[in-house]
Structure 1
Amino acid sequence: MWQDAGLRQAGTGHMSLTLLFLQLTVILVTARTCGLVLRAFGQPMVIGEMAAGILLGPVVFGALFPQWHQQLFPPASLPGLSSLATVGVVLFMFIVGAELRAPSGMGAQFRAAGWVGVSSMVLPMVLGLAIAPVLHPALAPQGVEFWPFALFLGVALSITAFPVLARILRDRNMTRTRVGQLSLGAAGVVDALAWILLALVVALASAGAGLQAFMRIAIGLVVLVTVVFLAVKPMLAWLLRTHAPDGVPSPMMLAALLIGMFVCAMLTEWLHLHAVFGAFLFGVALPRDDRLLHALAERIEPLSIVVLMPIFFALAGLGTSAGAFANSGLGMLALILLAASVGKIVGGAAGARMCGYGWRESLATGSLMNSRGLMELIVIKVGLDAGLIGAELFTMLLVMALVTTAATGPLLSLIARKSPKPIDRPTSA
C-alpha cells in the first residue's frame, strides 16, 4: 500500500514538473516574441514582455481558448509560479535599489531634479485622489475603506519607471543630455518617495482600522531602515572595500550580499509589507560604485530579467479580468489614463519650467516622467496582493502603464520635430 502511494506521489510530482516546464516554455517564448515585435516598432522590449502577460491571461488566451488556458494554468500550479516570480522581482528590485543615485555630473541640476520629481508626483496624486470617489464604489474590493484605496490610487498614478526611463534615454542617446540628466535625477527622487509612501499605504491597509497595528508596522519599518543604514551599510562598505577592492565580488561575497537581501525581504514580509521593499532597501544600502553595479547586474540580471520576470508578467496577466471593460469600465479607464498622463506630463513640465528650462525641454521632461513600465506593474501587483485593489482596477492600471510608457517615444519624437532647438543637446552645451 505504501509502495503504491509512493508511486502515485512520484507520478503526480512528475506531471507537476512536466507542466511547470511547459508553462515556462510558453511564457518565455511568448515574452521574447512580443518583446522583439515591440522593439521593431521602437519600444523597449519590456513593454512587449508586459503585453505578453495580458495575452496569456483570461483577457486574450483565456477568452479565445478557455479549455487550453485552464489546462495550461490550473489553479493548483500557480503557487509554484508565484514563488519563482517573487524571487525574480526581489532580485530585480535589489538591482533597482543599487542603481538609485544622482546621475554623475548633474551638479546644479540636483535642485531642478528635486522640483521635477516632487511636482510630477504631487499633481498625479492629487488627480488620483480626485477621481477616487468615482472609482471606489465600483472598483474597491469589499471591506476596503476609501482612504487606503484613494491613497494607493494616488501613489500608483505618481510612479515613474527609473529602469525603463534609463533604457529609453540610452536607446535615444539622450543619457548625457540636459533633459536626460534632469529626468534621471527626477525619476530617482520619485522612486525613493513613492516606495516610502507605498510602504505606508500598505502598512495602513495591513493594520486595518487599528492604529496600534499600524504603529507597530510603521515602527518596525523605521527600526529596519535605521539598522540597515547605520549598521549594515557601513559594514557592507567595509566588506566590499576589503574583499572586493576592484568592485567585483567573489562568489562568497556575492552569496553574502544575496543572503542580506533575502533577510531584508523576509523582514519586510514579516512586517506585513511586501518582500520587494526589503530587497530595494538593501540595494540602496550598497556603496554607489559603478563597478559593483555592473558586476551585480552581469550576474543577476540574466536570471532575473530573462527568466524570472516574464513569469511575473504572466502571473500579472492571469490576475487581469476580462470583465474590466464592461459597462462603464471603458469610461473609468479613460478617466485613469487622463489623470495619469495629465498629472505626469503637466507636473513634470511645470517643475522644469520653474527651474528655468525652455518649454520644449520641459515638455520632453514631462513626457519622460510619464513612462511607468515595469515599476508600475510591481506597484499595482503589491496593491493586488495586499487586497487594496481588485482584478478590474488592476487590469485598468496595467493597461494604463502600457499605454503611457508606449507613448513616451512618440511624444519625444513629436516634441523634437516641433522644437527649433534640439532637446538632445549635451549638458555641457
Structure 2
Amino acid sequence: MADASARSADLIIAITMADIAIILVAGSILGWLVRYVRQPPVVGEIIAGIALGPSLLGLLPGDLPSHIFPSEVRPHLSAIAQVGLLVFMFGIGWEFDKRLLQGRQGTAAAVSIASVVVSFVLAIGLAALLYDRHNVVNGKHISFTAFALFMGAAMSITAFPVLARILTEHRMMGTRVGALALASAAIDDVLAWCLLALVAAIVTASGGSGDFAQTIVLSLLYVTVMLLVVRPLLSYLIRRRVRDRIPPQLIVVLVAGLFLSSYATTWIGIHAIFGAFAFGFVMPREPRGVLDEGAKRPFGGISLVLLPVFFIVTGLNVDIGALSGRDLLELSAIIFVACAGKLIGASVPGRLAGMSWREAGTLGILMNTRGLTELIILNAGVSLGVLDDRMFTMMVVMALFTTVLTGPFLPKAPVRVDRAGSRALSEEPAAAASSV
C-alpha cells in the first residue's frame, strides 16, 4: 500500500511537471502569434489559459481539461501559480518609480483620480443591477457593500505592467500621452489596490465592526513597520553587502522577506498579494545597475516561467459556454461600463489639461488596459468569496476584451524628422518602465 501511494504521489508530481511544460509551450506560441495583431504577449498567455480550460478544450469530446489537468494535480498547480503571482507582485512594487511623476504630478493625479472615481461610481450602479443574481457564492450570502466595493475596485484598475509593455511596443514611451498614461496608471493602481484591501478587510471581518477595526489597525501597523523598519533595514543590508554583485545570502533574505511579508498580510486578513507588493515597494532602487542585474532580472525570470501557470489556474475556472443569454447581456453591460468609466474619466481631464481630443482619446484607451492585473484582482475576489463562477467568467472576458481593444485603436507612434533627416519619437521623453 505504501509503495502504491508513493508511486501515485510520484505520478501526480510527474503530471504536474508535464502540465507546466504544456502551459509554457501553449503560452509561448500564442504569445508569439498575438504580436501579429498588435497585442502584447500577455494577451496570448491569457487566451492560452482560457483555451486550455472548459471554454475551448472542454468543448471537445472526452473532457480533456480533466484528463490533462486532473483534480489531484490542480492544488499543486495552484501553489506554483501563487509563487509566480507573489514574485510578479513583488516586481510590480519594485518597478513603481516616483520619477514617473516628475513634472506630471498634477495632471497625472487628476487623470488617475477622475478615471478611478468615474469607473467606481459607474461600477456601483452596475452592481446594484447585478447584485440580486450574484449575491450567493458557494452557498454563502454576500453583502451588497462587499459586492459593490469589489466591483468598483475591479473596474478601477489599469494594468501598469501591461501598459508599459504596450507603450514600448508601440513606440509611445517617449510621447506626452504615453508618459502621462504611465504616470496616471501608477497612481491608479495604488488607489485600486487600496480599495481592494478595504474590500478584503470588510469581507474577512466576519465578526462585525470589531473585526473590521482590528484588520484596519493591523494593516496600519504593518505599513508602519514596512516603512520605518523593513525599508531602512533593507537599505542598510544593501549598502553593506552589495558592491559589484549581489551576494547569494542577500537573495535568500529577499525571497524569505517576500514570503514572510505575504504571510503577514494574509494573517492580518487582507491578501498575500498586498504583502508581496509592499515588500517590493520598500525595496531600495540603488545601486540600480547591480540590483537590476543581480536581483530584479532573476526574479523576472522566475515570474516569466511560473506566471503562465496562473493563467491556466484562472482559465480552468472560466467557462464561457456556460453563460446564458441573460449572462451575455450582463457581460455586455460590464464591458460597456468598464470602457466608459476609463474613457470618460481619463479623456476629459486630459482634454482640460491641454491635450487635443485625439491625444485625450488615446489616453482614455490606454487607461482602459486591464490585462493581468485585473486577473489578479478577480482571483482575489474568488478567494475572498465575493464572485460566483458566472460573474468571474464575465469579468475575465471583460479584462481580456479591454486589453485586446487597446492595440487596434492606438494611433501609430508620432515621429518627427530632425535636422539630419533621421526619424525620432516626438514629445518629451518619459521615464522608462518595464513589465516584469
User: TM exceeds 0.5?
Assistant: yes
Deviation track 1:288-347 (CA, whole Å, cap 9, x = no partner) reads: 344324543311112212x21111000000111345521301110110000000100111
Match of 1:78 among 74, 80, 83: 74
Amino acid at match of 1:113: A
Alignment pair present for 1:68 and 2:69: no
Match of 2:369 among 368, 371, 383: 371
Match of 2:278 among 278, 281, 305: 281
TM-score (norm 2): 0.91
- Shift of the 208–187 alpha-carbon distance from structure 1 to 2, 3 Å rule, reads same
Q: Using the TM superposition, give the Cα deviation of residue 54 of structure 1 relative to its aligned residue in structure 2, in angstroms.
A: 0.6
Partners of 1:329 and 1:415 in 2: how far apart? 38
Match of 1:134 among 120, 126, 129: 129
Please give the root-mean-square deviation of Cα atoms over the aligned residues, in Å: 2.1
Contact 1:324 1:395 in 2 (8 A): no
Structure 1 residue ranges, 4+ long, deviating more than 6 angstroms after superposition: 414-417
Match of 2:119 among 97, 112, 124: 124
Secondary structure of the equivalent of 1:76? coil
Partners of 1:381 and 1:295 in 2: how far apart? 31
Secondary structure of the equivalent of 1:314? helix
Q: Using the TM superposition, give the Cα deviation of residue 66 of structure 1 relative to its aligned residue in structure 2, in angstroms.
A: 4.2
Deviation track 1:199-255 (CA, whole Å, cap 9, x = no partner) reads: 110110111361111111111111111000011111111211221245x42211111
Secondary structure of the equivalent of 2:269? coil
Q: Aligned residue for 1:388?
A: 386
**Structure 2, unpaired ranges of 5+:** 416-423, 431-436
Partners of 2:332 and 2:207 in 1: how far apart? 32
Q: Aligned residue for 2:237?
A: 239
Worse overlay, 263-272 or 88-97: 263-272
Correspondence list, 1:30-179, <5 A: 30-104=26-100, 107-140=102-135, 141=137, 142-179=140-177
Worse overlay, 186-195 or 201-210: 201-210
Partners of 1:405 and 1:294 in 2: how far apart? 30
Partners of 1:151 and 1:323 in 2: how far apart? 28
Partners of 1:274 and 1:340 in 2: how far apart? 24
Q: Aligned residue for 1:302?
A: 301
Contact 2:94 2:282 in 1 (8 A): yes
Correspondence list, 1:309-328, <5 A: 309-322=307-320, 324-328=322-326
Deviation track 1:91-144 (CA, whole Å, cap 9, x = no partner) reads: 00000000012345x532121111111111111111100111221111232411
- Shift of the 428–286 alpha-carbon distance from structure 1 to 2, 3 Å rule, reads closer
Deviation track 1:147-201 (CA, whole Å, cap 9, x = no partner) reads: 1001100110110000000001111222122111111110110111111110110
Q: Using the TM superposition, give the Cα deviation of residue 58 of structure 1 relative to its aligned residue in structure 2, in angstroms.
A: 1.1
- Shift of the 324–273 alpha-carbon distance from structure 1 to 2, 3 Å rule, reads farther
Q: Aligned residue for 2:217?
A: 219
- Shift of the 414–134 alpha-carbon distance from structure 1 to 2, 3 Å rule, reads farther
Q: Aligned residue for 2:23?
A: 27
Amino acid at match of 2:128: P
Partners of 1:319 and 1:226 in 2: how far apart? 37
TM-score (norm 1): 0.93
Partners of 2:45 and 2:385 in 1: how far apart? 25
Q: Aligned residue for 1:255?
A: 252
Q: Aligned residue for 1:420?
A: none
Partners of 2:401 and 2:413 in 1: how far apart? 18
- Shift of the 233–44 alpha-carbon distance from structure 1 to 2, 3 Å rule, reads same
- Shift of the 143–416 alpha-carbon distance from structure 1 to 2, 3 Å rule, reads farther
Q: Using the TM superposition, give the Cα deviation of residue 270 of structure 1 relative to its aligned residue in structure 2, in angstroms.
A: 1.3
Contact 1:103 1:181 in 2 (8 A): no
Q: Aligned residue for 1:407?
A: 405
Q: Using the TM superposition, give the Cα deviation of residue 42 of structure 1 relative to its aligned residue in structure 2, in angstroms.
A: 1.5
How many percent of aligned residue pairs carry the same amino acid? 37
Count, aligned residues: 418
Secondary structure of the equivalent of 1:287? coil
Partners of 1:415 and 1:174 in 2: how far apart? 6
Worse overlay, 372-381 or 205-214: 205-214
Amino acid at match of 2:164: A
Partners of 1:302 and 1:325 in 2: how far apart? 36
Deviation track 1:338-396 (CA, whole Å, cap 9, x = no partner) reads: 00001001111122123222222211111111101110010101001111101111111
Partners of 1:14 and 1:262 in 2: how far apart? 27
Contact 2:374 2:399 in 1 (8 A): yes
Amino acid at match of 1:91: V
Secondary structure of the equivalent of 1:407? helix
Partners of 1:362 and 1:108 in 2: how far apart? 18
Alignment pair present for 1:18 and 2:17: no
- Shift of the 428–71 alpha-carbon distance from structure 1 to 2, 3 Å rule, reads closer
Partners of 1:101 and 1:357 in 2: how far apart? 24
Secondary structure of the equivalent of 1:319? coil
Worse overlay, 400-409 or 235-244: 235-244
Q: Using the TM superposition, give the Cα deviation of residue 428 of structure 1 relative to its aligned residue in structure 2, in angstroms.
A: 6.3
Partners of 1:121 and 1:424 in 2: how far apart? 30
Contact 1:129 1:154 in 2 (8 A): yes
Contact 2:173 2:429 in 1 (8 A): no
Correspondence list, 1:203-218, <5 A: 203-208=201-206, 210-218=208-216
